[in-house]
Amino acid sequence: MDAATILQQARGVAGLSQAALAAAAGTSRPTLSAYEHGRKSPTLQTAARIVAAAGFDLTITPRVEFREVAVDRGRPILVPTVLPRLPVDRALAVVELPLHLNWSDRGRRFDLRDRRQRARVYEIVLREGGPDDVASYIDGVLLVDLWDELVLPQAIRSAWQGVVTGASEPRVA
pLDDT in tens, 113-152: 999 999 999 999 999 999 999 999 999 999 999 999 999 9
Task: Count how many Cα atoms sit within 13 Å of the Cα of residue 172 in the half-sphere of its side chain.
Answer: 13
Q: Is residue 61 part of a domain?
A: no
Backbone angles phi, psi at 160, to 5 degrees: -90, -15
Same domain membership, residue 91 and residue 27: no
Q: Do 73 and 49 reside in the same domain of the chain?
A: no
* pLDDT at residue 61 in the model: 82
Q: Are residues 103 and 168 in the same domain?
A: yes
Q: Does 37 fall in a domain?
A: yes
Looking at the domain assignment, is residue 20 inside a domain? yes
Which structural domain, as residue segments, surrounds residue 28?
A: 3-53
Both 75 and 148 in one domain: the answer is yes
Residue 55: φ, ψ to 5° = 100, 20
Q: Are residues 91 and 130 in the same domain?
A: yes
Q: What is the pLDDT of residues 87-106, one digit of tens each?
A: 999 999 999 999 999 988 88
pLDDT of residue 75: 80
| Angle of the 18-25 helix axis to the 3-14 helix axis, nearest 10 | 100
Q: Are residues 92 and 148 in the same domain?
A: yes
The three-class DSSP label of residue 25 is helix
pTM beyond 0.85: the answer is no
- Tens digits of residue pLDDT in 37-67: 999 999 999 999 999 999 999 988 888 899 9
Identify whether residues 75 and 146 lie together within a single domain. yes
**Position 121 in a domain:** yes
Write down the pLDDT at residue 171.
Answer: 40
Q: What confidence score (pLDDT) does residue 168 get?
A: 53
**Contact 34/40 with Cβ under 8 angstroms?**
yes
Residues 158 and 123 in one domain: yes
Does residue 78 fall inside a structural domain? yes
58 part of a folded domain: no
**pLDDT given at position 172:** 41
Is residue 148 domain-shared with residue 127, that is, in the same domain? yes
CATH number at residue 33: 1.10.260.40
Assess if residue 136 is contained within a domain. Answer: yes
Give the total number of structural domains in the chain. 2
Confidence of residue 170 (pLDDT cuts 50, 70, 90): very low
